[in-house]
Amino acid sequence: MDTIASATAALPTLVSVTPLLAVCAPLAAVPGIVLAGERSPNRREAWTFLGAATAFLLVLSMLPAALSGTRVEYVVANVLPGAPLAFSVDGPGLLFALTASFLWIVTSMYSVGYMRGLSEHAQTRYFAFFAVSVSAALGVALSANLFTLYLFYEILSFATYPLVAHHQDAEAVSSGRKYLGYIVGGSIALVLPAMIAVAALSGTLAFTPGGVLPASVGAPVAGLLLVAFAFGFAKAALMPMHAWLPAAMVAPTPVSALLHAVAVVKVGVFSVYRVVTGILGTNFLSSLHLGDVLVWAAVVTMIAASLVALTQDGLKKRLAYSTIGQLAYVVLGAALLTPRGELGGLLHIAMHACGKITLFFCAGAIFVATGEKYISRLGGLGRRMPLTFAAFFVGAMSIIGVPPTAGFVSKWQILLGAAETGRYAVVAALCASSLLSAAYFLPVVFAAFFGRPPEDAAWAETAKARGEGGVGEAPLWCVLPPLITAACALVLFWWPDVLARLAGGTP
């Protein structure tokens, strides 16, 4: 049944240092960022853009190889038997790397507008750790084996801590604790022993189509490993390992946008995908009927997170719960153990990224322009910030999965995948989840365009006093990025071909 797996098994390989360079490019910008410092912010941001552009171009340069079915490989060091520090770039990895590195450029623009708009402190530290985080995310995307993936996963955990705790106040302390508690606790207590068990059982950790476990491993052990990986990779935010994500929303909005909607959380689900397809093996899992465990964990997370999202008044909190629900789609796609499920899940990494980052950008733009954080206070704001809310509307449609937005493409594939395996309850759950996301996003848009401003809203007062009643957007650098990503969400509906080919399908 695994036509994709058998196709990738015979992939010709190409030894090239490009993946290493792509991972190092953001790191190389860090000294420049630190040396430029607070004294010359423009030079500092130039380093960020230089690193971002270089990383993106390096990733992009591997696209022809990946599309032609060639695997780009590079071994850095033989550190552990059966698990060198090595990169191997295939379609899914490149799909994720492209998404992360492209959105980093956009987010960097947004960071400049947001951080300067709010005169945040410690911007040098912020940009430096941002670069390290992106480097780690690219490392996860391009890694050749579970050890390399774990290495970058852990670097990402620690590199994002100063970003989450950026404000250095009491709330940041407790959120930082929660963040590390879940993520590092999961990776050390669950993933590390599971990884060592896999290495002991099979002697290798390389991502191999069809998995690496010997056939003698029984369902109990394989099931235990699956559970340890799925919940241990807490960045995937499968319930009950999700509580760190809403807490991490204390971070500045660009961090929430790129890291907690794209890089960090997608690293989590991508890790689960890699383990399911490359370590445990889809055939192996389906022969033991273990896919169901993950399917139901994903479905429960999807529905429960959407229900909680309905109750959230904080805009970023609502977005966070929505992210938890949407991440479950990717896990679900992998858990279906069919090529179509995988295709849908992988596409959802990119499609959801475009939609959700747009929404976060908009949330941040609203905060910069008006200082508002709560949904109940957004009434009438759409008339004042039409561009922002137009982008918000497109992003919301994409998350709900309405054509012609990108979210539809991936959700459709996951839906078909679920139907193909005869899991009609899952199909119903997917539909219900889409309806729920409509229920928690559309009222926001409706109120913004047709509602009344709150009585005490400062922005409404000043607008009235000046007699404008007209447009009052956030700074250009805060408005342009959501428009770009919203445009992506529209474009990807019509031209998803390249991404779909990377994800292994021919739609």
Closest distance to other proteins from the beta carbon of 196 (Å): 5
How far is it, in rounded angstroms, from Cα 233 to Cα 339? 23
- Measured from the CB atom, the residue of 244 and 441 that comes closer to other proteins is 244
Q: Which of 7, 17, 57, 188 binds other proteins (CB under 8 A)?
A: 188
- Measured from the CB atom, the residue of 26 and 339 that comes closer to other proteins is 26
- Confirm or reject binding of residue 254 to other proteins (CB under 8 A): no
Starting at the earlier edge strand, list the strands of the sheet with 71-80.
13-15, 71-80, 83-89
385 secondary structure, DSSP code: S
Q: Which of 10, 200, 215, 465 binds other proteins (CB under 8 A)?
A: 200
Closest distance to other proteins from the beta carbon of 180 (Å): 6
- Measured from the CB atom, the residue of 85 and 315 that comes closer to other proteins is 85
Residues from 55 through 94 that contact other proteins (CB under 8 A): 77-81, 84-85
> H-helix or E-strand containing 76?
strand 71-80
How far is it, in rounded angstroms, from Cα 81 to Cα 96? 27
How far is it, in rounded angstroms, from Cα 227 to Cα 329? 17
- Confirm or reject binding of residue 445 to other proteins (CB under 8 A): no
- Measured from the CB atom, the residue of 86 and 331 that comes closer to other proteins is 86
Name the one residue in this structure whose structure tokens are 């606790």.
Answer: 185
Q: Which of 37, 69, 185, 472 binds other proteins (CB under 8 A)?
A: 185
374 secondary structure, DSSP code: B
- Measured from the CB atom, the residue of 40 and 68 that comes closer to other proteins is 40
- Confirm or reject binding of residue 3 to other proteins (CB under 8 A): no
Give the count of residues interacting with other proteins (CB under 8 A): 40
Q: Which of 26, 162, 278, 345 binds other proteins (CB under 8 A)?
A: 162
- Confirm or reject binding of residue 158 to other proteins (CB under 8 A): yes
| Tokens of residue 485, six digits | 């990503």
Name the one residue in this structure whose structure tokens are 């992988």.
Answer: 346
| Tokens of residue 225, six digits | 């490993």
Residues from 4 through 33 that contact other proteins (CB under 8 A): none
What's the Cα-to-Cα distance from 49 to each of 102, 111, 369, 496, rounded to whole Å?
Answer: 11, 11, 24, 27
Closest distance to other proteins from the beta carbon of 464 (Å): 27
Q: Which residues, including other chains, have CB under 8 Å from residue 211's CB and lie 6 or more apart?
A: 277, 278, 279, 280, 281, 282, 283, 284, 285
Beta bridge partners of 80: 83
Q: Which of 176, 246, 333, 395 binds other proteins (CB under 8 A)?
A: 176
- Measured from the CB atom, the residue of 201 and 293 that comes closer to other proteins is 201
- Measured from the CB atom, the residue of 178 and 501 that comes closer to other proteins is 178
CA end-to-end span of the chain: 17
Q: Which of 141, 165, 237, 238 binds other proteins (CB under 8 A)?
A: 165
Burial classification of residue 475, based on how many CB atoms lie within 10 Å of its CB (0-12 exposed, 13-18 middle, 19 or more buried): middle
Q: Which of 74, 104, 150, 270 binds other proteins (CB under 8 A)?
A: 150
Q: Is there a contact between 112 and 477 (Cβ–Cβ < 8 Å)?
A: yes
> H-helix or E-strand containing 147?
helix 146-159
What's the Cα-to-Cα distance from 136 to each of 34, 44, 267, 444, 449, rounded to whole Å?
Answer: 18, 20, 9, 35, 40
- Measured from the CB atom, the residue of 203 and 240 that comes closer to other proteins is 203
Q: Which of 13, 40, 68, 168 binds other proteins (CB under 8 A)?
A: 168
- Measured from the CB atom, the residue of 77 and 215 that comes closer to other proteins is 77
CA 491, chain centre distance (Å): 19
Cis before 404? omega within 30:
yes
- Measured from the CB atom, the residue of 196 and 435 that comes closer to other proteins is 196
How far is it, in rounded angstroms, from Cα 190 to Cα 236? 14
Residues from 114 through 133 that contact other proteins (CB under 8 A): 118-122
Q: Which of 7, 35, 189, 476 binds other proteins (CB under 8 A)?
A: 189
Closest distance to other proteins from the beta carbon of 74 (Å): 15
Total residues found in the chain within this entry: 507
| Tokens of residue 127, six digits | 């940009």
How far is it, in rounded angstroms, from Cα 46 to Cα 476? 18
Cis before 214? omega within 30:
no
Closest distance to other proteins from the beta carbon of 78 (Å): 4
Binding piece for other proteins, criterion CB under 8 A, among 51-59, 154-162, 280-288, 314-322: 154-162
- Confirm or reject binding of residue 173 to other proteins (CB under 8 A): yes
Residues from 353 through 392 that contact other proteins (CB under 8 A): none
- Measured from the CB atom, the residue of 167 and 501 that comes closer to other proteins is 167
Binding piece for other proteins, criterion CB under 8 A, among 24-32, 64-72, 153-161, 287-295: 153-161
- Confirm or reject binding of residue 139 to other proteins (CB under 8 A): no
- Measured from the CB atom, the residue of 194 and 430 that comes closer to other proteins is 194
The region that residue 26 occupies, defined by phi over 0 for left and psi between -120 and 50 for alpha, beta otherwise, is: alpha
Q: Which residues bind other proteins (CB under 8 A)?
A: 77-81, 84-85, 118-122, 147, 150-151, 154-155, 158, 162, 165, 167-173, 176-177, 180, 184-185, 188-189, 192-193, 196-197, 199-200
